[in-house]
Amino acid sequence: MEKKNCLILALDVTDRENALRIANEVSEYVDSIKVGYPLVLGEGLGIVKELAELAPVIADFKVADIPNTDRLICEHVFNAGADAIITHGFTGRDSLDSCVKVAEEYDRDVYVVTEMSHPGGVEFFRPVAETIAQMAADAGATGVVAPATRPERVRDIRKIIGDDLHIISPGVGAQGGSAADVINAGADWVIVGRSIYNSDSPADAAMRICNEMKC
């Protein structure tokens, strides 16, 4: 993904019409559009191809299965036109290796969840976040997902992965995180959903976040 605005739109609306309207309105401000279960379960995987005409698509399926099933999921997602996939790391190195291998075959990206952004994200992830981050680096993942709600954790994770891996960071706005703070802490991109797609003017909301980051 090319870094222009440091902003990724989390497009968690559930219908095609709204998704395409919002994506069109904000496309000049975002470097990528993240889609997940809400939109894909609502409209089917075909929505990925339509959105990919506007910006590279990250498929946030938080893949967490045995290596063979992970492989099948990644193949489907990349064949559908996604540029990247988000996978969990707690399933172990062999599962992650499977995703990375498919991504290499397709020349696509893999981002690994470290510690999640919501309050419960510390309950089980906190003790293993650094280990997962190190595994992501060792496995050759493109980057990791780390919480904008806890910039200090982004700083910790950046120390572990070094400068080669990217950090994409959800939790800005609706979850209380600050875009500027998490970019200063070492994130490459912020991921923003509700603060943009629930706004009366998604384009203005996206522009404001870009201005705040001055990335």
CA distance 61 to 74: 10
Q: Which of 62, 101, 159, 214 is catalytic?
A: 62
Helix axes 93-106, 67-79, angle to 10 degrees: 30
Applying CB under 6 A, which part among 75-83, 91-99, 191-199, 207-215 lies near ligand XMP?
191-199
112 binds ligand XMP (CB under 6 A): no
Report helix, strand or coil for 145: strand
Length of the chain: 215
CB 102, min distance to ligand XMP, A: 18
If one asks whether residue 116 binds ligand XMP (CB under 6 A), the answer comes out as: yes
Q: Taking the alpha carbons of 105, 101, 10, 31 in that order, is the dihedral positive or negative?
A: negative
The residue range among 46-54, 68-76, 114-122, 206-214 that interacts with ligand XMP, by the rule CB under 6 A, is 114-122
Per-residue CA distances from 41 to 23, 86, 149 (Å): 18, 17, 27
With CB under 6 A as the contact rule, the residue among 1, 6, 9, 10 that binds ligand XMP is: 10
**Is 4 among the catalytic positions?**
no
Residue 156 labelled as part of a binding site = no
12 binds ligand XMP (CB under 6 A): yes
Binding flag, residue 192, ligand XMP (CB under 6 A): yes
* 142: β partners: none
Indicate the residue whose CB is closest to ligand XMP.
Answer: 193
What are the start-end ranges of the H helices in the chain? 16-26, 37-43, 46-52, 67-79, 93-106, 129-139, 151-161, 179-184, 194-197, 202-213
Q: From residue 47, how far is each of 41, 135, 145 by CA, in Å?
A: 10, 32, 23
Based on the shown chain and the rule CB under 6 A, indicate whether residue 151 belongs to the binding site for ligand XMP. no
Stretch that binds ligand XMP, among 50-58, 69-77, 153-161, 193-201 (CB under 6 A): 193-201
Catalytically active residues are 62
Question: Footprint of ligand XMP on this chain (CB under 6 A)?
Answer: 10, 12, 36, 60, 62, 86, 113, 116-117, 121, 145, 147, 170-171, 173-175, 191-195
